[in-house]
Structure 1
């Protein structure tokens, strides 16, 4: 397994890092988490969004970009996942391989 990648800016705090089969995820912020960063491992394309919701225990993060909603969900009975929905339909669900 590769080492987790941190895509937060140097001026930000890193709250959470994760890896799925196809993506790196960073949750960044200041006094509280406020940014979701997702990076495609194959293309290097990235998206940086303001968090729309999060759980203070750090087990749930949500960011919205138009019709797309990105979720990082930890410690469910079925595991921990990166989920992307478009218009309320799930279009991606990848288990987290590693996180901190």
Structure 2
């Protein structure tokens, strides 16, 4: 499974060479994530956090519109940066990513 994830991430971003990944292999319900990020956006104190949570919320809504019910997260770490990738449930597609 890890080889597949490394391959998908490198196809998505060919600049990423040396990185480590972590994942739970547990599907997450998009409806729950949409609600969570709507709430996170409402309680965010800074404009930067509001902007980020709104972007993530909007991405989840777009993924939901494509008839997906679940997604999986994969975190890639490199050069002291963490990057969260949103994958389809079978890991065949990366929908989007965020650096944090």
TM-score, normalized by the shorter chain, greater than 0.5: no
More helix by share: 2
Q: Which has the larger radius of gyration?
A: 2
TM-score scaled by length of structure 1: 0.34
TM-score scaled by length of structure 2: 0.34
More strand by share: 1
